Chain A
Amino acid sequence: MKNTAVLITSEKLKVQDCYDFVQDAACGGIALFVGTVRNSTKNKEVSLLDFSSYEPMALKEMQKIADLALAKFQIHKIAIHHAVGELQIGDIPVIIAVSSAHRKAAFEACEFAIDTLKETVPIWKKEHFNDGEVWVNSHP
C-alpha cells in the first residue's frame, strides 16, 4: 500500500482528495495545511500569482519530503499537492495532508513538509500587480 501521494497539476487542487488519501481507520487524526493566495504583499495589492515548476525535479523533491516525513515522524500517510499556472486571490497553490495515530506527529510532519517544500522544491511564483510583476524571492 502506498503511503505517499505527490502531485503537480494545472487543475484546481481539491482538499477532499488529499483528505481521502490519508484517511485511515488506524489513525486518530489528520493535519491539513492549505496554502491560499493572499490579496496583498508588503502592503501592495496582488492581482494574481503565476506558478511555474521544473516538474520532474519538483516531483522528485516532493517525494523526498514525503519519504523523509514518513521516516522522521510517527505518521501513517502523507499527501503533498501543488498547483501550477495562474491562480487568483483565494485559490489554493498547495495542500499538505498527514494522518497519524496521535496528533502531535501529524502537526509536526505537516509543518516540516511545508517548510521544506518552500526551501527545496523547484517551483517559482511571479506576483502580478496592477502596475507590474515580480518573481518572489529573486530580488532582481
Chain B
Amino acid sequence: MKIQLLFFGIATDLVGENSIFYELNSEETVLALKKELLLKYPKLKNIDEFAIAVNEEYAEDDLVLRENDVVAIIPPVSGG
C-alpha cells in the first residue's frame, strides 16, 4: 500500500526530497515506519529526534498507517 512522505526543515536537506510516494508491505505502525526510514535514510540519525504527523496531526508510535496517508517527518521545530 502506498503512502505519501513529506520532509521538512533539516530532514529535507538530509534526505534530498520534499515529498515522495512510499510503498509499505503491509499495514504497519508509525514506530515501524520510523525504523524503516532510519535504515533507508541513515542521515536522519544526524537529527536528535523527529516526530511523525499523519494527515496533519502528530501521531503516536502505535498508530497504524493506512493507504494514502500523508506522513510528515517533523524535525525539532524552531518557530517563534
Classify the secondary structure of A's interface with B: mixed
3 cross-chain pairs, A with B, having the tightest CB-CB distances, nearest first = A123-B79, A124-B9, A136-B78
Q: Confirm or deny: A110 has a beta carbon within 8 angstroms of a beta carbon on chain B.
A: no
Is B80 within 8 A of A52, CB to CB?
A: no
Q: Give the interface size class of chain B.
A: 20 to 34
Whether the Cβ atoms of A124 and B14 lie closer than 8 Å is: no
Given the interface pairs A52-B9, A57-B53, the reply to whether A137 lies near B14 with Cβ below 8 Å is: no
21 A-B pairs, CB-CB below 8 angstroms? A52-B9, A57-B53, A57-B56, A57-B72, A58-B79, A82-B79, A114-B80, A117-B79, A118-B78, A119-B77, A120-B58, A122-B79, A124-B8, A124-B9, A124-B79, A125-B79, A135-B10, A135-B13, A138-B9, A138-B78, A140-B10
* Min CB gap A135→B, angstroms: 4
A53 in contact (CB, < 8 A): yes
- Which residues of A come within 8 Å of B, CB atoms? 35, 51-54, 56-58, 60, 82, 93-94, 114, 117-126, 135-140
B3 part of interface (Cβ distance < 8 Å): no
Closest to A64 in B: B57
A-contacting residues, B44-80, CB 8 Å:
46-48, 53, 56-58, 72, 74-80
